Amino acid sequence: MFLIRSGAIEGYESLVSHYGQNPTTLLHQFGFSSAQLRDPNTYVSYTRLADLLDATAAACGDPLFCLKLAAEQSVLVLGEIGLSIRQQPTLADAMNYSNHHINLHAYGVHVQQRPRGDTLELQLTFNFSNAGGLAQLMQLSAGQAFNLVAQMMGSTGSALKLHLPQTAPTTSMVAPSLYKDHILFDSNFGGISFPLSWLTRKPQHDEKLLREHFQQRIRMLQSIYPGNLRAQVCHIIGNLLPSGECNIERVASALNLHPRVLQKKLQQDGTSFRELLQQTRMEVAQRNLQHGQLSVTDLALNLGYADVAIFSRNFKRWTGKSPSEWKALSKHS
């Protein structure tokens, strides 16, 4: 099954309402609900989402609906992976990091790097298609890739291009101003391109964006787990583990607490950060081994282990079985 974080369509309901349509009706038509959009880290069907976006563009009468949706979004739609990408030493490192971890945001999409002269093309491809040729999904994905590189590089002039395979719409349909001087319709691929020389540049750090992310996280956690510190901590750990930067300092910052204060509160609750980290790792590991597509090596890396052997030893201590043994048994249970 191909899955994507619901955070990818942040702003969907507001934009649909702007066109005078009912977003709830459209969501229900494809098996979604507004509640699923409240937690951006809820995974939903990628294929059904693609169909929803095509139907929404038709209902709103705008073939550039998803391009306009992407124009209103920030890199926060990618969740923690979007923040981690921006913290890499160079743009080249950021691209490689993105390729390695993209399945944490969406499973079923690939980014291929194709040098062409002095330009690098980032070509997006999907493991599936639909009747509309994924036109809206490509707009959204290419727009989000454009936003990420533009925000990392700061001023890009006209060198950053957004490529779409679809034919340009009628003159009455205007592309968002953010992309107006950068968009290329009827392209031989969907994605973005920029000068190869940018690969050695250092991405810009945006402290304001980081604060905004944590503020959003606090509000969401308080609404989902009011008064339940353990659940809040486990939720944040689960989202930070794939970044390789899951520590008590990061988790405390997400909750707007000093690390010592967080540790003291957890002790008063009869637990510790270390215990919750181990508990969350075990739950995520078991869920992925039973339902996921990751190899044991990739799963170990996504749980923050530098060595798969250490993960395997810990997993056997938790369950009495190796990861491969547990996976085989769970498939037949």
Residue indicated by tokens 């787990």: 225
pLDDT at residue 19 in the model: 96
Nearest C-alpha neighbor of 217 from the set 243, 241, 240: 240
- pLDDT-above-90 percentage for the chain: 47
pLDDT at 292 over 80: no
Give the residue, 182 or 39, on which the prediction is more confident.
182
Confidence band for 216, pLDDT divided at 50, 70 and 90: low
- pLDDT winner (highest mean) among 1-15, 110-124, 222-236: 110-124
d(CA 102, CA 111): 9
Give the residue, 74 or 216, on which the prediction is more confident.
74
Structure tokens, 209: 């964006």
pLDDT at 72 over 60: yes
Nearest C-alpha neighbor of 221 from the set 76, 229, 35: 229
Give the rounded distance of the alpha carbon of 195 from its chain centre. Answer: 25
- Exposure string (b/e) for 54-82, b if CB count within 10 Å is 16 or more? bebbebbebbbbbbbbbbbbbbbbbbbbb
Query: Helices 308-319 and 273-291 meet at what angle, rounded to 10?
Result: 90
Query: What average pLDDT does range 261-271 have in this prediction?
Result: 93
Whole-model pTM above 0.85? no
Q: Are strands 119-126 and 191-195 parallel, antiparallel or unpaired?
A: antiparallel
First to last CA, the chain: 20
Domains and CATH numbers, the chain: 3-200 (3.90.1520), 207-331 (1.10.10.60)
pLDDT at 310 over 70: yes
The single-letter DSSP state of residue 305 is -
Nearest C-alpha neighbor of 304 from the set 287, 323, 321, 281: 281
Query: What average pLDDT does range 38-56 have in this prediction?
Result: 87
pLDDT at 318 over 80: yes
- pLDDT-above-70 percentage for the chain: 89
pLDDT at residue 222 in the model: 63
Q: Is 227 exposed, middle or buried (0-12, 13-18, 19+ CB in 10 A)?
A: exposed
pLDDT at 57 over 90: yes
